[in-house]
Amino acid sequence: MTAPMAKPLDCGHLCRGRRMPLILALFIVTAAIGLGFAFANWRQQRRNLAIQALLDDADRLEACLLQTRTRMRELEGMLGRLPADITESARASLASEVGIQDAMKRVLSHRLWIRENSTTAPVAKLNEVRDTARKSLLQLEQQLARLEQAGSELQNAYAQSDALLGTQAPAASHSATEG
């Protein structure tokens, strides 16, 4: 004897019965939950990217400040060959650590704000803070470029002066006399 064959599913019965609205409702609920999770994930990703951008900008701003301070000290040393009365205002500007220290304090407060507010601040506020930091960074980079240009011009002027006078820079002549 052969086993009785199972009857094939009757699609018409499913479509006409109560199961189709239930399956459709489950599908809609599942899709809504999935979209909710996707939206929450997207929002968290936006927040994470904004926070990372803030931290990266703080790092770049701090590095630029340190580079500016180093360049200011180098230029201050280069001014040593010129008479003090000619370079008085330049020396005062370059010797001032107050501006760099204030900027470093602002970077530190920026980092503290990020630590304290990054999880609760709206992404729009995070982006606003990032834009402000980027403006500061751009201004600082422009000032650093001006310092680099001034240093280059000063080095060229010294080289021309030394060539005309037939002298060497004090550091070079000092080391030559020791040897």
What is the distance of C-alpha 45 from the center of its chain? Answer: 18
In a domain, 72, yes or no: yes
CB burial of 18-56 (b: ≥16 within 10 Å; e: otherwise) equals eeeeeeeeeeeeeeeeeeeeeeeeeeeeebeebbebbbe
Which residue range forms the structural domain that includes residue 101? 50-166
Token pair of 62 as six digits: 């701090």
pTM, entire model:
0.63
In a domain, 19, yes or no: no
In a domain, 67, yes or no: yes
Token pair of 112 as six digits: 């503290």
Please give the tally of structural domains in the chain.
1
In a domain, 123, yes or no: yes
- The DSSP call for residue 5 is P
In a domain, 11, yes or no: no
pLDDT at 10 over 70: no
**Residue 79 has what pLDDT?**
77
- Provide Rg for the chain, Cα atoms: 34
Element (H, E) at 91: helix 84-95
**pLDDT class of 159 with cuts at 50, 70, 90:** confident
**Residue 169 has what pLDDT?**
53
In a domain, 93, yes or no: yes
In a domain, 111, yes or no: yes
- The DSSP call for residue 17 is S
Quick: pLDDT tens for 98-153: 788 888 888 898 889 888 988 888 888 888 888 988 898 888 888 888 888 888 88
In a domain, 61, yes or no: yes
